[in-house]
Structure 1
């Protein structure tokens, strides 16, 4: 049932007014490059935690992975565990404080610049910036898809129009207000997301007769799993897939590990560690970030799985059948069909908040990667400050256009997979170098460059020539070698993160041990302690 009431119009209008006010506030407080890039390094823990969480948990988690849970079941709850352990605790406590300290010592204002200055390499900064600028539009495109799919279903408007509206609204405050505006709006959007997901969980259990009843009903539906999925290892929505099966490898290597570990190397998240006043702020942020991720991701995966009970009870079909095989439509269809109209209005704001908070951060980091890291620091060798600011804003505009185009052309059921692709690429390219930058004084510039290049191209090569989900539709392997994939059997379902990241890590260690270490003077500057 589509929602079309004066209440909806009023609520959305108020929401947009507040968002643009916060964007204006960010614009007024953006006076210097450091304000635009890292929010003046004075963000408080609450805003940091909500901004980080709202950026991390987007419509890809709620719509994409919620839909994947509707197809594969509650095994995805292990991803929630990984999100909290790696994405919050290890990220904030272990990586965050060192990133903040080193970022201040090196006067770094972007993640690529942080890596470039740590290893004294403009190539690392430029290559990293280009990598983000080229491949992050894929991630931004699927976040747009997630938000637009719900708006399309809730308001019965054309999907293409919904994509365009979202992109224009976000561009307006990101281009002008920088990271201060992004983080202020993220905090509000994160709060709305927390409330919306909490109510969704409560209403779902009420609708299905209670917690125990809902889960037992889902367990009893195991016999309804389609034969094709059973043959691939599906054992019911409350059980993990059969060990070693095709679906097991997809759920474990692509979703749980690909996204669970991949969060540590996300440029748009790592830069937030450089926005706070002190390391103690990062520790305080854990107390907010942990429960936030639990509510966001955990609820999405539980509700996505339980949607099967609702659909079967009311329509005699499982979630995949109701969505015509498109997992990206499972959550929108469930919410619009099962929830009260007023809640649909609130949840539309929840999903708008999830989409806008993540997209604003993505557009900001893509613009700064192109304008500051690639153009100014790599091509112009650090010259032309004013010009780089203009190029940054042009970069944001261009990447927005590319993201919108991708939202129009990407295939169905792409949200969860594309998220894992981008996070896996970042993990292979950046994580070994990032860990070396923070924890190993013996890692050299040559080791970092080798790891960056090998990690990038080994990840992309595995996607193009081996991983079946991408290699088959791309058709490059078939065209060049006459085979859909270069390897066969279980290798075709092993995610690139499990192959490319170890190769990248080994490369970093071996090359660093065989090359000259950085000077003690530079290392002292990098690791100097600050408050």
Structure 2
């Protein structure tokens, strides 16, 4: 117990210390929200990765999908690395950085408002962001409950409040820069932790080959009648596994707290380096989490999924580890959760302040007032999420993966297509954006409240969210082509930033001459 508490206290002290150290970077809106747009590749890549993967992935998704698909669940981690990190950086990173600076937008809703010339679009995007980040935030806390109960026997409400307060302190004090530096440290902890845990769990089953052999002998007629299916390449249900891969990978392209990382990156070189670093990070952390969860059925004699739910699988797998490893696991999950929580509350507070309150309710809001309001909103947002998390835990409303699926589905489904087409296609219209917003919000709310109305394959919030994202990629161009064309001057002004000539070093680009 002394080892566990000692490691926790050191971890918390470092996080808060960095927040206080970074106060000078958070004196204005640009510094508080974007770190002055001067964040290097390592900090940005780790901020992206740690915001991507939280306790939801480690405890909820890894346990649930590892149980359902066996080692084939590792495909979700590979998809997160290739589609959710590598391609996201390659397709969105550079253009997002250039156009958002040109339009002077610090948030995704502000980008929509300026790119499409619509204040109502900005307000709607702000409301969607705030409302659907709440269930995601509540799910972060839930991933900690069983692990802390296993390691410390501490009441869940106390655990939630301590984590929320400490995260709030360093975000409020240091803003984005404090979040980015802490994300870097937390990312290193996550990498070391997941590698150590995988090695320990497989060793407890006699090594990798013995564990794989044991998994091949597991049978579950309810999942599949094929022998050895849980140790196979694609698992018992490739179609639903594809839905998981799409939602958890393509979804990052439309999540405000993820895309906002590209706003802050420093330079062209930083984009390329960050892309590689982020991909490797995702491959280790996400691939490792799902790979570990794939062996969950080897512990079926210790866990009762019907009674305790999927969220009990990973904690059960870890319960027999040495105290030092359990302490590392707890700090790993805390790191994952706090990094994502800090990103979410910063995104939501900046969105409400800059896109909803400023100019709409408070005219000519001063810079210091904006930063102050954002700090106050961070406190309010964290408080709301804590209350929801505790109420949800006490009433046992739903599983972690369902909460996250609803949030990701609504946000990514609403924003992915409008943002992507807004970056690349001049003919995209605000009507196309509205159609994407409304379609995804209505579908995900209906899926949450009346899943029986959907065909069997779409009753899962995971599959429904993936469907909304793919549907948006069709809805936006179709609606844009049949509605009035956007203002030519507005569009040309937005895209003019891509045509500006800049001087670069000879080693970075060849000249036109012979």
Q: TM-score, normalised by structure 2?
A: 0.89
Residue 230 of structure 2: aligned partner: 237
8 Å contact 2:18–2:178 — kept in the other structure? yes
Aligned partner (choices 310, 313, 320) of residue 330 of structure 1:
313
Distance in 2 separating the partners of 1:236 and 1:272: 39
Distance 1:208 1:379, change over 3 A: same
1:442-501 Cα offsets, whole Å, 9 max, x none, are 112332233323332233234433x3xxxxxxxxxxxxxxxxx23455453582235433
Does residue 242 of structure 2 align to residue 252 of structure 1?
yes
Does residue 250 of structure 2 align to residue 267 of structure 1?
no
How much does 1:342 deviate? 1.0
Distance 1:115 1:284, change over 3 A: same
Residue 478 of structure 2: aligned partner: 510
8 Å contact 1:133–1:399 — kept in the other structure? no
How much does 1:280 deviate? 2.3
**Aligned pairs for 1:118-517 within 5 A:** 118-222=115-219, 225=220, 228-230=222-224, 236-239=229-232, 240=234, 242-243=236-237, 250-253=240-243, 255-309=244-298, 311=299, 317=301, 319-321=303-305, 324-337=307-320, 339-380=321-362, 383=365, 385-410=367-392, 411=396, 414-465=399-450, 467=451, 485-493=452-460, 495-513=463-481, 514-517=483-486
Does residue 7 of structure 2 align to residue 14 of structure 1?
no
How much does 1:195 deviate? 0.7
Distance 1:385 1:280, change over 3 A: same
Distance in 1 separating the partners of 2:363 and 2:428: 24
Distance 1:349 1:93, change over 3 A: same
8 Å contact 1:70–1:320 — kept in the other structure? no
Does residue 111 of structure 2 align to residue 114 of structure 1?
yes
Distance in 2 separating the partners of 1:163 and 1:504: 36
Residue 86 of structure 1: aligned partner: 83
Distance 1:379 1:442, change over 3 A: farther
8 Å contact 1:428–1:459 — kept in the other structure? no
Residue 23 of structure 1: aligned partner: 19
Distance in 2 separating the partners of 1:260 and 1:303: 19
Distance in 2 separating the partners of 1:383 and 1:167: 28
How much does 1:74 deviate? 2.2
Distance 1:155 1:236, change over 3 A: farther
Distance in 2 separating the partners of 1:488 and 1:427: 21
8 Å contact 2:55–2:140 — kept in the other structure? yes
Residue 472 of structure 1: aligned partner: none
Does residue 67 of structure 2 align to residue 71 of structure 1?
yes
1:150-187 Cα offsets, whole Å, 9 max, x none, are 12221111112111111111111112221111111111
Does residue 75 of structure 2 align to residue 54 of structure 1?
no
Distance 1:101 1:150, change over 3 A: same
Residue 512 of structure 2: aligned partner: none
8 Å contact 1:436–1:443 — kept in the other structure? yes
Distance in 2 separating the partners of 1:492 and 1:12: 40
Distance 1:326 1:491, change over 3 A: closer
**Number of residues paired by the alignment?**
493
The unaligned stretches of length 5 or more in structure 2 are 503-514
How much does 1:385 deviate? 4.4
8 Å contact 1:119–1:445 — kept in the other structure? yes
8 Å contact 1:308–1:318 — kept in the other structure? no
How much does 1:190 deviate? 0.5
8 Å contact 1:124–1:449 — kept in the other structure? yes
8 Å contact 1:327–1:413 — kept in the other structure? no
Distance 1:377 1:63, change over 3 A: farther
Q: Secondary structure at the match of 2:266?
A: coil
Distance in 2 separating the partners of 1:267 and 1:69: 25
Distance in 2 separating the partners of 1:382 and 1:458: 37
Distance 1:507 1:305, change over 3 A: closer
How much does 1:132 deviate? 1.2
Aligned partner (choices 14, 17, 41) of residue 37 of structure 2:
41
Distance 1:506 1:346, change over 3 A: closer
The unaligned stretches of length 5 or more in structure 1 are 468-484
Computed over aligned residues only, the root mean square deviation of the Cα atoms, in angstroms, reads 2.4
Distance 1:139 1:18, change over 3 A: same
